[in-house]
Structure 1
Amino acid sequence: MHYYRYSNAEVSCWYKYLLFSYNIIFWLAGVVFLGVGLWAWSEKGVLSDLTKVTRMHGIDPVVLVLMVGVVMFTLGFAGCVGALRENICLLNFFCSAIVLIFFLELAVAVLAFLFQDWVRDRFREFFESNIRSYRDDIDLQNLIDSLQKANQCCGAYGPEDWDLNVYFNCSGASYSREKCGVPFSCCVPDPAQKVVNTQCGYDVRTQLKSKWDESIFTKGCIQALEGWLPRNIYIVAGVFIAISLLQWLTDLKGRPRDRSIWKKKEKNLLAKQEKISLPT
């Protein structure tokens, strides 16, 4: 009878619960994203009439929240169950998905750098599409307002882009009170005002263009973002590197776990075989 010695054949309990603790946080974050997304859709009546999803114009920010939630929930669940149950298939799925997401992020970053004109055109189309739908979705409206206020910009390339919206259009066919105006998020803030004036953009584009910059931002948001990126390149690079390291550490945590489980299973199998081979 032959005896085999396997080093580290037992799965480390400390390592097991470290991996579980990491993934439970990931899983709970996914639950929060899903909960917020479903609550937002419930408030907008989408859950009671799912056909509204296909009738939405522009990009609904809630969809992005739900997509992130689904990915985080799925990966967190696979990591938690895989760590607790020592399930190699789930751990391999978790690690492979993390690596895939990392390379997708890397590919997107490289392609965005190489095809800057294409990215700029897609962002312009995205922004103009959402300008048209500005009053149709409160979440989309808040997203655009936040973007314009944070970057002190107005429209994709300037305030005239708001002609794309039926409420702000300057044409004679429009009877909206907001005609020839811009959203309040385009207005230059008045330090003396403690309450936000949501009507500050009314009729502003009926004035001479030379006077626009006295009351509203005249720089387009694409130009503002193009200027923001070089100024904050180290922050962007740092965030990307931090996320990448976190993903690789997650993968490195899972791979040794797989090997420990395989060793444990192999040891148990050999023990069973030796037990069967013993004379009765």
Structure 2
Amino acid sequence: MTGYRAIKYTLFICCYVFWVVSAVLIAVGIYAKIAKETDVVDTLTLDPALLLIVVGSVMFLITLLGCFGALRNDTCLLKAFLGILAAVLVLQVAAGVVGYLFTDVVMERTDRLMMKAIVRYREDQDLENAIDFIQKKFQCCGVESYKDWSQNVYFQCSDTNPSLEACGVPFSCCVRLQNQTVLNTMCGYGQQRVEERSARQKIFTAGCLEKIVWWAKNNLLLVAGLSGGLLLLELVMICLAAAQISWINKVLRQAGSKPPRNDSLSYPAFGNSDE
């Protein structure tokens, strides 16, 4: 029964690792949500904290089924885990195929989503930090260009805008000098009034959508490797769950007994597999 135990505990360890990761995601999301003010963005697509909670909760429930199903030899839980994980895998593959076939539609939807994030830049601290991180990481500004920041009420470039940041861009758009130690948070002030050639000397003028797509194309092997690795891990867990279910049913048939009506069988957590 060594092979059975290897399948059982390998599946349990994999599920347990993802279960711990999901619990951490939920904790971070709840902490970030509580730390916010009450009147902030609460939509799933624009609230990183809420997104962490939702993704973490889904992972938590799925991996919990896998953990208990594998440890207790419960075919009902294992089948539920296998079915949900298989559905998630199919949805991921379908999303990838649809994204590849309808690239223009995906790019258009992404453009709209990013523009909404710019409009709500100052309404959510987590969203603001996420945008600043992206602009610093990819050395970009706005969605298509630095002038997209005029869509935000604080940076809107108009004579009637009373904001001190009118016609400016966030400091995360600024080009940092090599030996600069003190961050100048006012470096983006008034840069929307400047022509792109002149503005390029102080801020990043290229849009983030273009930079992200360019990065993905130049790191295609890395992106494909990470995506393929995740799909492969999910497929391995599905195969392990199917193998454990098959082995349990085989033991029942050899013992000459029929499974209960609920199609579940629970053994002691660390009992012998031939019990």
- Shorter-chain TM-score: what band? 0.7 to 0.9
Distance 2:127 2:104 in 1: 25
Q: Could you report, residue by residue, the CA deviation over 1:166-193 in whole angstroms, capped at 9, with x for unpaired residues?
A: 0001112211111110001111111121
Is structure 2 residue 124 aligned with structure 1 residue 137?
Answer: yes
How far 1:128 sits from its partner (Å)?
A: 0.8
What is the TM-score when the length of structure 1 is the normalising length?
0.86
- Local SS of the residue matching 1:236: helix
For the structure 1 residues 182 and 268, does the alpha-carbon distance in structure 2 shift closer, same or farther, using more than 3 Å as the test? same
SS at match of 1:12: helix
Deviation (angstroms), 1:240: 1.4
- Normalised by the size of structure 2, how large is the TM-score? 0.87
Classify 1:241/1:58 alpha carbon distance in 2 versus 1 (closer, same or farther; 3 Å). closer
Aligned to 1:274: none
Cα deviation code 1:13-56 (max 9, x no counterpart): 4432232222111111111111111111111155xxxxx57865
1:251 paired with 2:243, answer no
On the 8 A contact 1:11/1:261 being kept in 2, the answer is: no
1:204 and 2:191 are equivalent in the alignment: yes
Q: Which residue of the partner structure matches residue 69 of structure 2? A: 82
1:167 aligned to which of 125, 129, 154: 154
Query: Is the 2:40–2:124 Cα contact (8 Å) retained in structure 1?
Result: no
Q: 1:268: how far off? A: 4.4
Bigger CA radius of gyration: 1
Residue 205 of structure 1 deviates from its aligned partner by: 2.0
Distance 2:231 2:14 in 1: 16
Pairing 1:42–2:34 present: yes
Aligned to 2:267: none
The CA distance in 2 between the partners of 1:73 and 1:213, in whole Å, is 46
| Runs of 5+ unmatched residues, structure 1 | 1-7, 47-51, 272-280
CA distance in 2, matches of 1:189, 1:244: 39
Counterparts in 2 of 1:113 and 1:268: CA distance versus 1, 3 Å: same
Residue in structure 2 matched with residue 63 of structure 1 by the alignment: 50
- Residues of 2 paired with 1:110 and 1:201: CA distance? 40
Residue in 2 aligned with 1:154?
Answer: 141
Residue 18 and residue 226 in structure 1: after superposition, are their counterparts in 2 closer, same or farther (change >3 A)?
Answer: closer
Q: Which amino acid is the alignment partner of residue 217 of structure 1? A: F
What is the aligned partner in structure 2 of residue 24 from structure 1? 16
Aligned match of 1:186: 173
Identity, % of aligned pairs?
36
Separation in 1, partners of 2:245, 2:128:
47
The root-mean-square deviation of aligned C-alpha atoms, in Å, is: 2.1
Q: Distance in 2 between matches of 1:58 and 1:96?
A: 27
